[in-house]
A = this chain, B = another copy of it.
Amino acid sequence: MKRTEIKSDIAWSAPDRILIHGHNLCDDLVGKIDFGQMAFLQIFARLPKDENERRMFNAVMVILVEHGITPSSLSTRLTFSGAPESVQAAVAAGLLGLGSVFVGSLDQAAKMLQEAITDPNNPGDLELKAQAIVDDFLGRKAIIPGIGHPFHKPIDPRTVALFKVAKETGYDGPYATLITLIGQKAEERTGKILPVNVTAAMAAVVSQMGVSWRYCRGLAVAARAVGLVGHIIEEIRQPMAGEIYMRIEHEAGAHLAPKQ
C-alpha cells in the first residue's frame, strides 16, 4: 500500500513549550493577544497585520455570536435538558442546524461575489456585473443570496454598522459596492423592498479580507458556538426546554385521542 505523509502545521509541543502556527503560546500569545486575534491566527495561520484588519475581523465575529431564539439555540436547550452532563453535545446539537437554510446564505453570497470579482484590484464594470447577477437569479426564479430580509427592512441595521466599520478600516472595496448594486437592481426589477442583509454584508467584507467563500461557514460556526454556550448558561438559570416539550407534546398528539 502506498503511504502518503501525514502532517499538520498548526501546533508543535515540547515538554517546556508549545508552538501554535509558529508562535510560542506561553511567551507570545497568552496575556498578549485577545480571543479575537487568536481566532484570526487559527483561521488565517497568521496574526492580523494591523489594527484595521483586527477591527474588521472582530466586527464580523461579534455580529455572528448571537441571534436569539432560533431553531439552533432551541435544539441546544432541548438537548441540554436531556443530557445536562454533556455541555459539548448541547452546543454540537445547536451547531448542526447551521446548514443551508440559515448560515448557507453566507457562503452562497460570498461565492457569488468571489466568482463575479476574481481580482478585487481589477473588479471590472460592477454595474454590468450586478445587473447580470440579478437577471440570472431572478430569471430562474431563484433567491439572490443575502438579498432581502423578512424582518429587518427596509434596511438591515447590521449592514449599516458593518459597512461603517468597513469604510473606517479600508475594507469597503468593490465587493461592498457590488452587493449594494445587486440590492438596488433587485429592488428595481421586482418593485419589492430588498435590503442587503447582514449575511451579504459579511460576505462582502470577508471577501475583501481575502477569505475564500469555502471558509465562511467556519467563521459562523465558531462564533455561534460561543453564542450557544450563552444559551446553555441561561437555560441552567431559567429553563424553557421542559415547558416547550410539554406544550408541543400535548398539542401535537391531541387529535389522535380516541373518541369516547
Contacts and interface: CB of A to CB of B under 8 A. Distances in A.
Of A63, A162, A221, which is in contact with the most chain B CB atoms at under 10 Å from its CB?
A: A221
Nearest to A235: B8
Q: Chain A's interface: helix, strand, loop or mixed, by majority?
A: helix
22 contacts: A1-B250, A7-B252, A8-B234, A10-B66, A13-B253, A14-B257, A20-B65, A26-B157, A30-B62, A31-B164, A35-B223, A35-B226, A68-B253, A69-B249, A71-B78, A83-B99, A83-B101, A85-B85, A86-B96, A89-B97, A92-B93, A244-B248
Nearest to A85: B100
A80 to B, nearest CB: 8
Interface stretch (A128-136, A147-155, A173-181): A147-155
Interface stretch (A38-46, A118-126, A138-146): A38-46
A98 B85 CA distance: 11
Given A11-B67, A97-B79, A238-B7, A42 B153 contact: no
A6 B65 contact: no
Contacts of A91: 92, 95, 218, 221-222, 225
Contacts of A101: 81-84
Contacts of A72: 78-79, 82
Nearest to A216: B87
A169 to B, nearest CB: 8
Nearest to A157: B26
